[in-house]
Amino acid sequence: MEKNYFICAILMVVLSLNAFAQNNERDMQWFDISTLNYVVTGNTDKNHVLQQHLLIDGAVVEAKSDIMDRMQTCMKEISQRFVNEKDADVGQLTDEITANLKQMMQEHPELAPQLEQQLKELAQQRSDFSNTYVKEVGDYTYPPEEVLKEITAIAVNKRAYSAWSDMGNGLFAVLTGECYGPLEKDNFNRPKVKESDEYTWGAINYDGKFILEAKYSQPVSYPEHNFIILRYKQGGEQKCGACGFNGEVRVPFVYNDAHWYGAGFHLYIFEKNNKYGFISLDGKELQPCVYEKPEPFGSGWSVTKDGTNYGLVDHVNGKLVIPLKYKSVWDNKMDEIFMQRFDKKIDVYTENGFNLIRTFDEPED
């Protein structure tokens, strides 16, 4: 009896692990329906379109191929109409340039050969553009409003978000507030969040359930450390802390902000009442918030509590490796750190290991 119970227990563990692995390997896809929504709502400003994104399970996408085909057809027809509109603008511009060139020919007959050549080239360019980009379209094959309803109906939680990002570990950061941008985006033309909605980011899992409620600025996640930096507003004041990917608090929300200085630094500098301390990505306080704003210096940060006595905190483990007893952090060269003492001497430490290796007199001015 005990043997059977043990086998059943092992089997349940294996099954649960398999289910967890399958859940983490689910193929989830995001669809940008901003253009479709633009047409359905009759919006007229292509440079100020409400962004809309839907999360759909990859298995559903495959199973509902008919709906996806209708959406693809509709999007192609919408895009073609946009091209036709652009062609009309090109035609108007071409007509204006042609009229100007003909006017110049009348005023300057001596330039006729050159201007006639330009007119021929312009006419050829206009013809090439129309032949390449313009195709006549009639009514939509599928009504855009019906397509929008269908695609929304198969979304994970039938809800659209203004922006999203993959946080890792099965979570997506989502913006529930308003985010506007142009229909045609490039690398420098990103959607813009309304200031009032900056703090309406949350985090959902693959099933669309909110793990972090939508009250934060955009989360900054570190999946390998189970660490998410979060900021929200309370009574007009920003609060900052950190959670894990299950929503559990890793760093209490008693700070005003958090600062990170780049790859290779496995800690954050947290700010509280205009003082700064160091917290590791596993949530451990390495240095309390007692320092004035740290400045990057060599392999660490220059720190001071009173603006008079300076030392150095290691940027890897957050330890105070050079004590707060120096007039300034003087120089950093040749893998050495130079600390200016109050008795007109310079102490030299190795940048690797922070060992005091020599002392010399401060140079005369």
Architecture of domain 219-326: Beta Barrel (2.40)
Confidence category of residue 129, pLDDT binned at 50, 70, 90: low
Residue 150: is its pLDDT beyond 70? yes
Average pLDDT of the chain to the nearest whole number: 87
Residue 18: is its pLDDT beyond 50? no
Confidence category of residue 298, pLDDT binned at 50, 70, 90: confident
The residue among 299, 294, 309 whose CA lies nearest residue 333 is 299
Report the share of the chain in percent with pLDDT over 90: 61
More confident residue, 330 or 172: 172
| For residues 189-193, average pLDDT | 76
Residue 3: is its pLDDT beyond 50? no
CA angle 222, 224, 228 (to 5 degrees): 30
Confidence category of residue 292, pLDDT binned at 50, 70, 90: very high
Distance between start and end Cα atoms, the chain: 89
Residue 2: the pLDDT is 44
Question: Where is mean pLDDT largest: 5-9, 84-88, 183-187, 340-344?
Answer: 340-344
Residue 137: is its pLDDT beyond 80? no
pLDDT digits (tens, 9 = 90+) for 202-222: 999 999 999 999 999 999 999
In whole angstroms, what is the distance from residue 76 CA to residue 68 CA?
A: 12
| For residues 113-130, average pLDDT | 81
Residue 60: the pLDDT is 97
Lowest average pLDDT, out of 111-115, 199-203, 334-338, goes to: 111-115
Residue 8: is its pLDDT beyond 50? no
| For residues 317-322, average pLDDT | 93
Question: Where is mean pLDDT largest: 84-88, 155-159, 261-265, 328-332?
Answer: 155-159
Confidence category of residue 107, pLDDT binned at 50, 70, 90: confident
Residue 1: is its pLDDT beyond 80? no
Look up residue 96 and give its two tokens: 């204006």
Confidence category of residue 288, pLDDT binned at 50, 70, 90: very high
Confidence category of residue 316, pLDDT binned at 50, 70, 90: confident
Q: What are the angstrom distances between the C-alpha of 215 and each of 107, 151, 175, 196, 218?
A: 67, 27, 9, 11, 9
Residue 222: the pLDDT is 94
| For residues 117-125, average pLDDT | 85
| For residues 23-27, average pLDDT | 68
Q: What are the angstrom distances between the C-alpha of 54 and each of 19, 57, 151, 208, 243?
A: 25, 10, 8, 10, 25
Output helix, strand, coil percentages for the chain, rounded to the nearest 5: 35, 35, 30
* Side chain identity, residue 147: V
Contact at 8 Å (CB) between 12 and 44?
no
More confident residue, 148 or 363: 148
Confidence category of residue 317, pLDDT binned at 50, 70, 90: confident
Confidence category of residue 6, pLDDT binned at 50, 70, 90: very low
Residue 162: is its pLDDT beyond 80? yes
* Side chain identity, residue 168: G
Q: Which residue ranges make up each domain of the chain? A: 219-326
Residue 261: the pLDDT is 75
Residue 21: is its pLDDT beyond 50? no
Confidence category of residue 118, pLDDT binned at 50, 70, 90: confident
